[in-house]
Amino acid sequence: MKTRTLGKSGLEVSALGLGCMGLSFGYGPATNKQDAIKLIQKAYELGVTFFDTAEVYGPFTNEELLGEAVEPFRNQVVVATKFGFKEGTTSKGMDSRPENIRAVAEASLKRLKTDCIDLFYQHRVDPNVPIEDVAGTVKDLIQEGKVKHFGMSEAGAKVIRKAHAVHPVTALQSEYSLWWRETETEILPTLEELGIGFVPFSPLGKGFLTGAINENTQFDSTDFRNSVPRFSEENRKANQVLVDLLKSIATEKEATPAQIALAWLLAQKPWIVPIPGTTKQHRLQENIGAASIELTANDMEAIEIAALKIKVQGDRYSVTSQKMVNR
């Protein structure tokens, strides 16, 4: 697989990474451990060198899983994890106090079976802790050799600038896909100006853009999409028009809707690295195939013209989750 560099940081990763959250958390029951390890290792065999996790995924079990899976080739891959919640639990609220950042770093290093975290993200901006203190703490961890790069997630442009002034931000991770494009207004121009890479999570719209979900789909009771307005039965039916657009382009390209959605992201900027997640090896191979699809300027224009006519229905988060997205 081709590689990309995240901004001006020099951090080189595969053009597509693997978001590991869904293997342990969020989308129903956790995947069988051995199957999950096989999937991560298969991703590496297929050229993926960028793996994303966080202490809250599980909590803690996803880091342990990833650490065990990549141990045989640890020095050949980039591992990203995150800090920023009390006791590693989202429901307990945010905590980016310097002492907690340090505690999370030490615990994550052990769970990941490594001596250095390649990319350490603040999972969500904590309104109770000055971002300068957060960036300063990560800067200290970098100087101590425990972390290599500083990242942020779902942060607004002003906060990114403040953090970047203390220590260069290597990457911002936020949601971005054909059905969530808010980042294009202010975030992407800011990242380009500052030389910061962009790592879109949910690049397939939490699975919706694959075409495998429709108005009749039943999610597991523990699947967080049950609480997402955009995934209500009514909104799924209304939003099907976006999937239909992807399907029409995919047919022309002898590809799948998911591959077109990922190829569209890759075509936006050379410093964008999406991290689709999956629990199935055939979906993993399908996603990775997107890195080989070239969308022409005409293709991109056609998608843009068609997409502008589509209004996606429903909020992307529940009211509770939205409070944690500090813009």
Residues annotated as catalytic are: 57
What is the distance between the alpha carbons of residues 316 and 313, in angstroms, rounded to a whole number?
9
Fill in the DSSP letter of residue 278: -
180: left (phi over 0), alpha (psi -120 to 50) or beta: beta
Tokens found for residue 275: 């991290």
26: left (phi over 0), alpha (psi -120 to 50) or beta: left
Is-contact 7 196, C-beta < 8 A?
Answer: yes
Tokens found for residue 42: 């298969």
Task: Let me know the angle formed at the C-alpha of 199 by 87 and 270, rounded to the nearest 5 degrees.
Answer: 165
Q: Is 162 exposed, middle or buried (0-12, 13-18, 19+ CB in 10 A)?
A: middle
Per DSSP, the residues of 164-224 read HHHS-EEEEEEE-BTTB-GGGTTHHHHHHHHT-EEEEESTTTTTGGGT---TT----TTBG
Nearest to 16 by CA among 267, 313, 320, 301: 267
The position carrying tokens 């802790």 is 129
Which residues are bridge partners to 180 per DSSP?
177
Contacts of 242 (CB under 8 A, 6+ apart): 178, 179, 209, 307, 310, 312
Is-contact 82 121, C-beta < 8 A?
Answer: yes
